[in-house]
A and B are shown apart, each in its own frame.
Chain A
Amino acid sequence: MTPLAAEYDNMLRCIRCAACLTSCPTYVISHKEEEGPRGRIAIMRAIVEGHLEVTPDALEHLDNCLLCEACSHVCPTGVEMERLGTAFREDMSQRRAATGKSLSLAERLAYNWLFGDLGHFRAAARLMRFYQQSGLQWLARHLGIVRLLGMRDVERLLPDMPSRFVVPQNQKIGSGDPVQVFAGCIMSTAFAPTAEHTAELAAAFGCEASFPEGQVCCGALQVHAGEADRARELARANLDAFAGEAPIVVNAAGCGAMLKHYGQLLPEDPRAQAFAARVRDVSELLAGRQPGKPPRPIERTVVLQDACHLLHAQRVDRAPRALLKAIPGLDLREMAEPGLCCGSAGIYNVTHRANSDELKRRKCANIEQTGAGTVLTGNPGCLLQMRAGLPGGVHVEHIVDLLWEAFCDAEPASRA
């Protein structure tokens, strides 16, 4: 049985009530049934039932799905769209392999070498820092090389690399209940200070936080690209690295959702289910605990951007808000269409530029309407997407960094 056929019961849960349509980013911007969840399920079902070949149009409509899980969130009968979407992509990947067509060299390099080992990822990140710091970036931008390569918008999405990274080596911070921090590839490099803040926040909330050695990338990008076997290898390495029973704390919504799905990814491995049950988004962990000392006031107007893989995939929305509301002086606003994806969606903003840009514009317009000077989010992809889309006056930061400022930072805020 193909991976897609194995999801047949999942498809059959769809009763075609259409409740998902207005939640779906691609439907909302296109108003096309084939670009909505109900249409995609019907297309996949027709493929499995043998009424439809995988024609280029079918491939396009299924591939346009952001896997944001907004539809699964509102589905009254419990269809799990991300499972369907990733099964379809795995199917396509297997077909490609069967016909001798494999991934491009760049893709293989990315999935196998770059994301396969955090050491490799750090090496690439260092290379990027060199590019940004040496003047090469300036040169590339001003000589028009970036534009020439059609990379201008994509290049703008790249984060500025910090000077040092978090290298998980079993280092411990604080004392109290043990928790294990999942460092992540992008979070431990491009957002290394945020990774450190995550551990320090856990410590401020009475935890002994450690970064287990041997941990690797979560595998979400691979699953979304149909390379599930590659993701399974990574998952097994993480099962080995995160021994014990301590909660596993994550500061990237996409990684957290993936780690919580290890039970599904490795159904035959009894450790996977137990691992998944230990995973907590950092906001979940903190909201369920008491801080050692009360938070420092922060006089700022902020809006929380719900990452799809936190709000929809993990159904976490109250915890981050509860933490923010505990900070004196903080004015927390809400935006229109809070559940609509910002268009980042893993590498969707690189692979599907037009859709992604439209969603980015819409999200940023909704954010600007709140009048907030700071946007907070719990996912690096969303963060970079909004930085690329918002005017310079609007500050975008990881929610962990603001929480750290309130609960850990002894110095007064540097920013008004």
Chain B
Amino acid sequence: MTKRGLAGELASIVGDEYVHDAPSEIVAYSYDGTFQQRRPDLAVSPADTEQVAAIVQVAARAERPIVARGASSGLAGGTIPERGGIILNLARMDRIVEIDTGNVCAVVEAGVITLQLQEAVEKLGLFYPPDPASSRQSTLGGNVACNSGGPRCLKYGVTRDYVTGLTVVLASGEIVKLGGKLSKNATGPQLLQLLIGSEGTLGIVTEVIVKLLPLPKARVTASAAFPELTQASQAVARIMASGILPCTLELMDGVTINVVEDFLQAGLPRQAQAMLLLEQDGADEATARTDIETMAAICRELGATSVQVAGNAAERDALWAARRAVSPALGRLRPNKLGEDIVVPKSQVPAMIAEVGEIARRYDLPIPVFGHAGDGNLHPNILFDLRSPEEVRRVELAARDIFRAAMRLGGTLSGEHGIGTLKREFMEEAQGAAVVELGRAIKRVFDPRGLLNPGKLYPTGGGIEGFLANLPVLAGFTPG
């Protein structure tokens, strides 16, 4: 052991090799998938739950904040070590402990990559539906922390609908297990559900039990391009009222279509103002195809100019590649983007999209919109340049107006990204002061000294004014 002080104590738990305290290493653990950046004191990569517990005890003794992360690909600032302290890198804990075909569930460590779990269970004819666009890199622990969703959550539900058990390290360093390999559980208050979506503020999830479904045998995908955005919105509403529950109903507006086309050259319709990506799965090809044909007919009726039904797996993959490329491809248009994640009642999607268009004009900002139109979860992305304080001010106002419009329509701040640092100042408006105080009180019970991911989820008191400008970035230009 050559490390001293806090680093030395941590090294005695995980070994020198897994304590990251050199100058360049601290930089490497300073960011997430947004533009924020703040160096931690150090980072540490534990190998198992017991090491996590020991690290938490050291952090508690040293009174250092502790921020757990997986791939740190989050889009809300949830893993930024805003107050320094210790980054707990759970990426090493990437073991699929068990795929239990008898109980139709999987036990995984927190650092398992979502896609790797999906590929592993699909080999056995099983299915783990939640599919965040980042599934290639996101971890199950991160998915639980943010209650992640994804396109097919329209039909299948989000992360919380699949988690039946958690192993959690509490702020005291105690290891507790919640739930189990159980399909039903009415035993006491559902603390398990409380942990899901708590963004590492109540405890550190180290192991997850998820239930699985049988893998649908057939999947049919189609796309429909519309000359007008409102036509697409109407098509979404009509489909949802038609008695069909599609697996996926994704929407891209015209700006998004062109950015993706620049990037992929996949032959997307550049003239269109909106595109829908429709997918249905089912026990057999015929059933899925019948639903897709019905949806395609609705799209044509409402003015879709080109409707394409993928004939084979390659065509389907091409349609999906376009959707998955959206978020990163937008990064090419302007130096920075603020990816919002509002959710409104399904029937309000057309109204919400119209509101975003109005806000984009009001503040003279490009705000492409895409998202999961079928479940009312939209991602208006405000594109800007962090180097221009005047522009940042307009972005703050645009974000505020988008949140307020969503709330006015019966919606809320986040559908699947979480609150982190980016939306916390709006929590009182979204939930009411009493509910926010209830949340804070629960946090105090779990983490009386406020060491677990401090500052996240709840308003700082700094107010809405300057909520973006006040976020930490390294001096210099920080894209993201």
Binding site for B on A (CB under 8 A): 12-19, 21-22, 31-34, 38-39, 42-43, 46, 49-53, 55-58, 61, 74, 76-78
- In the assembled complex, the Cα of A172 lies from the Cα of B94 at a distance in Å of 55
**CB-defined contacts of B337 to chain A, threshold 8 Å:** 15
Chain A: CB-nearest residue to B43: A33
On whether the beta carbons of A76 and B476 are closer than 8 Å, the reply is no
**CB-defined contacts of A61 to chain B, threshold 8 Å:** 24-25, 28
**CB-defined contacts of A52 to chain B, threshold 8 Å:** 23-24, 27
**CB-defined contacts of A51 to chain B, threshold 8 Å:** 27, 474-476
Given contacts A31-B92, A33-B72, A55-B24, contact A18 B134 (CB under 8 A): yes
- B contacts with A, residue count (CB < 8 A): 44
**CB-defined contacts of B475 to chain A, threshold 8 Å:** 49, 51
- In the assembled complex, the Cα of A171 lies from the Cα of B335 at a distance in Å of 53
- In the assembled complex, the Cα of A56 lies from the Cα of B22 at a distance in Å of 9
- In the assembled complex, the Cα of A58 lies from the Cα of B28 at a distance in Å of 10
* Interface 0/1 of B320-352, CB less than 8 Å to A: 000001011101100101000000000000000
**CB-defined contacts of B71 to chain A, threshold 8 Å:** 18, 21
On whether the beta carbons of B30 and A18 are closer than 8 Å, the reply is no
On whether the beta carbons of B23 and A32 are closer than 8 Å, the reply is no
Q: Is B91 an interface residue (CB 8 A)?
A: yes
Given contacts A19-B136, A42-B30, A58-B24, contact A12 B91 (CB under 8 A): no
On whether the beta carbons of A77 and B43 are closer than 8 Å, the reply is no
Given contacts A33-B72, A61-B25, 12 further A-B contacts (CB under 8 A): A14-B479, A15-B328, A15-B337, A18-B73, A19-B137, A31-B92, A34-B20, A43-B27, A51-B27, A74-B136, A77-B329, A78-B263
**CB-defined contacts of A17 to chain B, threshold 8 Å:** 33, 73, 134, 137, 327-328, 331
**CB-defined contacts of A16 to chain B, threshold 8 Å:** 31-34, 73, 480
Q: How far is the CB of B178 from chain A (nearest CB, A)?
A: 26
Q: How far is the CB of B22 from chain A (nearest CB, A)?
A: 3
- In the assembled complex, the Cα of A57 lies from the Cα of B25 at a distance in Å of 8
- In the assembled complex, the Cα of A34 lies from the Cα of B332 at a distance in Å of 24
Q: How far is the CB of A335 from chain B (nearest CB, A)?
A: 15
Given contacts A49-B474, A77-B332, contact A32 B33 (CB under 8 A): no
- In the assembled complex, the Cα of A58 lies from the Cα of B91 at a distance in Å of 21
Q: How far is the CB of A389 from chain B (nearest CB, A)?
A: 24
Partner of A31, one of B32, B33, B72, B89: B89
Q: How far is the CB of A40 from chain B (nearest CB, A)?
A: 8
- In the assembled complex, the Cα of A78 lies from the Cα of B22 at a distance in Å of 29
Q: Is B110 an interface residue (CB 8 A)?
A: no
Partner of A76, one of B22, B43, B329: B329
Q: Is B45 an interface residue (CB 8 A)?
A: yes
- In the assembled complex, the Cα of A14 lies from the Cα of B335 at a distance in Å of 10
- In the assembled complex, the Cα of A14 lies from the Cα of B478 at a distance in Å of 10
On whether the beta carbons of B43 and A18 are closer than 8 Å, the reply is no
Interface residue ranges of B294-344 to A (CB < 8 Å): 325, 327-329, 331-332, 335, 337
Q: How far is the CB of B275 from chain A (nearest CB, A)?
A: 18
**CB-defined contacts of A49 to chain B, threshold 8 Å:** 474-477
Q: How far is the CB of A18 from chain B (nearest CB, A)?
A: 4
Q: How far is the CB of A123 from chain B (nearest CB, A)?
A: 42
Q: How far is the CB of B255 from chain A (nearest CB, A)?
A: 17
On whether the beta carbons of A19 and B328 are closer than 8 Å, the reply is yes
- In the assembled complex, the Cα of A78 lies from the Cα of B188 at a distance in Å of 51
Chain B: CB-nearest residue to A35: B28
- In the assembled complex, the Cα of A33 lies from the Cα of B40 at a distance in Å of 13
Interface residue ranges of B436-480 to A (CB < 8 Å): 474-477, 479-480
Q: Is B111 an interface residue (CB 8 A)?
A: yes
On whether the beta carbons of B474 and A76 are closer than 8 Å, the reply is no
List the 9 closest A-B pairs by CB distance, nearest first: A76-B328, A57-B22, A39-B28, A58-B24, A18-B73, A15-B331, A49-B476, A34-B28, A31-B91
Chain B: CB-nearest residue to A75: B328
**CB-defined contacts of B331 to chain A, threshold 8 Å:** 13, 15, 17, 76-77
Q: How far is the CB of B32 from chain A (nearest CB, A)?
A: 7
- In the assembled complex, the Cα of A53 lies from the Cα of B22 at a distance in Å of 11
On whether the beta carbons of B137 and A21 are closer than 8 Å, the reply is yes
Q: How far is the CB of A276 from chain B (nearest CB, A)?
A: 21
Chain A: CB-nearest residue to B71: A18
Q: How far is the CB of B384 from chain A (nearest CB, A)?
A: 13
Given contacts A34-B20, A77-B332, contact A43 B137 (CB under 8 A): no
Given contacts A18-B33, A18-B134, A77-B332, contact A46 B27 (CB under 8 A): yes
30 A–B pairs (Cβ distance < 8 Å), ordered by A: A13-B332, A13-B479, A18-B33, A18-B134, A18-B137, A19-B136, A19-B137, A21-B71, A31-B94, A32-B20, A32-B25, A32-B28, A32-B89, A33-B25, A33-B28, A33-B91, A38-B28, A39-B27, A43-B27, A46-B24, A46-B474, A49-B474, A49-B477, A51-B474, A51-B475, A51-B476, A52-B23, A55-B22, A56-B22, A76-B329
